[in-house]
Amino acid sequence: VATSSPQSEPLYRQIAARLREDIAAGRRVGGDRLPTIRALASELGVNRDTVALAYEALATEGLIESTVGRGTFVRSAAAAEAGGPALDPTIAPTVQRLQDFERARPRYAGVDAAPLHALVPDPSLYPVDEFRRTLNRVLADEGAELLRYGGPQGHAGLRETLAAHLRETGAQVTADTIALTQGATEGIALALRLFAEPGDAVAVEEPTYHNVLGTLIALRLQPVAIPMRDGAPDLGVLERALDRPDVKLFYTMPTFHNPLGTSTPLEHRRELLALAARAGKPIVEDAYEMDLRYAGKPVPPLAALDRTGLVVQLFSFSKSLFPGARVGSIHARGRLVDALLALKQATDLGGALAFQAALARFVADGGYDRHLTRLRKVLLGRRDALLDALARELPQARWTEPQGGHQIWVELPGGVDTRDLLPEAARAGVLFAPGSQFHHDGRPSSGLRLSIAAADEASIRRGVAALARAVREHGASGRRAPRGASVHV
Ligand SMILES: Cc1ncc(COP(=O)(O)O)c(C=O)c1O
């Protein structure tokens, strides 16, 4: 290996150093594609794992990045990074851990394949014109009032509207017990901070929503994994976890779980509440997709069954309307409300009134219900297309059958790590979210999440056929993608 590093350096570091020099000197510039791991390994006469380690090191430094199925590229800001800035302030170790966590996520940008990985609702379904007219009307009617600071609780009209909407499920909620948030995401962080301090632990389902794991890292909270069994958290394990003094709360998605797509039955919800009451520990119920039921009978949310005041419920318009308004809500009971408002005030002084007011009017005028009726029909068609395609193309797999929401969980046989399958799937024409990203420790999973949010029925069918091809080829070759190569940076 021609390199200026001392020969005592491990081989992978010599390779990384050489590439770093190339980037610093401008011999490789932003957007340049690096050789595949296999090609560089054979050119240098080294093991593929050695090259994979070198790429992983450079990716950790932020110099290169990989995109599923497309390859590994020099990042555009890389030259400056490789040369090193004049001053280099220390980034807090917590943030570095968060960056490491984020880098372990697959990069999907620019890949031309069926988007069965994305939990972002299809923009072609957004009621843009109707919402634009509503936004114009509220600005015309309320003018500068909507362009002031709105206060930590948010627009009173939208709180009234949302309280009425949530009361339809049986929850005890009024405009006074709700605070509007920047999506459910802000609600998650507020709820975690309401009950837990850095160093404390939080019980989360496993698998769980990926971004919650990131939020736990950012808040220096420890996840305690509660395994999902038959689509519901294992209450025996949860009971033991909540008995631990350091475990301060349980974060759960009882309805249309992400990533599983499952909902828990009424009896399970009652038992969960009873055990939380015995432990005296709060439950954060993420009801982010509660309006997306397209089949089966609704089950009351935990907030509706709760008699103790231990449930804090999150709501969002992101999946049922569009995510860009960044409007969601958190509601709690008793003195928790004031505590939440203090936190919200300290965090951001409150959200954008104009969007909140427009959403209030949009709901009141029936626009939201009309949109939901259309959307549920579309989602039911897409879910059926997905279930049908799975039955035809992947009969050897097992999957969940959601009654609402966007996601379906597929378990592949044969102990495959679905992270390894992703590059082949991307080349075959489909993207998915590998199960490992929903594990607190990132360990391998033979499961994967498919989403019907962004793909139409034709694209879903093509995507599942491509997935089946990738599974066959993967099984036939018995190949494992080198870790850190084309998926993990
Ligand atoms: C379980 C869960 N909660 C919350 C969110 C975030 O939603 P919001 O856009 O409302 O912040 C998501 C988004 O994917 C999610 O899957």
The model's pLDDT over 305-328, given as tens digits with 9 standing for 90+, comes to 999 999 999 999 999 999 999 999
Asked if 400 and 262 count as a contact pair (C-beta separation under 8 A), the reply is yes
Predicted model pTM: 0.86
Per-residue pLDDT at 80? 63
Q: Measured between alpha carbons, how far is residue 305 from residues 90, 166, 269, 329 in Å?
A: 48, 13, 8, 19
Per-residue pLDDT at 27? 85
The model's pLDDT over 344-356, given as tens digits with 9 standing for 90+, comes to 999 999 999 999 9
Q: Which atom of ligand 1 is nearest to the CA of 182?
A: 11
Per-residue pLDDT at 489? 18
Distance 348 CA to ligand 1 centre (A): 19
Whether pLDDT at 170 is above 70: yes
Per-residue pLDDT at 75? 87
Whether pLDDT at 256 is above 50: yes
Per-residue pLDDT at 88? 76
Q: Whose CA is nearest to atom 8 of ligand 1?
A: 183
DSSP string, 222-287: EEEEEEEETTEE-HHHHHHHHHSTTEEEEEE--SS-TTT-----HHHHHHHHHHHHHHT--EEEE-
The model's pLDDT over 391-425, given as tens digits with 9 standing for 90+, comes to 999 999 999 999 999 999 999 998 899 999 999 99
Distance 372 CA to ligand 1 centre (A): 18
Query: In a mutational test of the pocket of ligand 1, which residue from 288, 289, 409 has the highest number of ligand atoms less than 8 Å from its CB?
Result: 288
Distance 266 CA to ligand 1 centre (A): 23
The model's pLDDT over 328-344, given as tens digits with 9 standing for 90+, comes to 999 999 999 999 999 99
H or E element at residue 343: helix 336-348
Question: When comparing pLDDT for 474 and 212, which is higher?
Answer: 212
Distance 34 CA to ligand 1 centre (A): 35
Segment 194-210 shows an average pLDDT of 98
Segment 53-61 shows an average pLDDT of 86
Query: In a mutational test of the pocket of ligand 1, which residue from 313, 316, 452 has the highest number of ligand atoms less than 8 Å from its CB?
Result: 316
Per-residue pLDDT at 126? 96
Per-residue pLDDT at 5? 44
Segment 55-68 shows an average pLDDT of 85
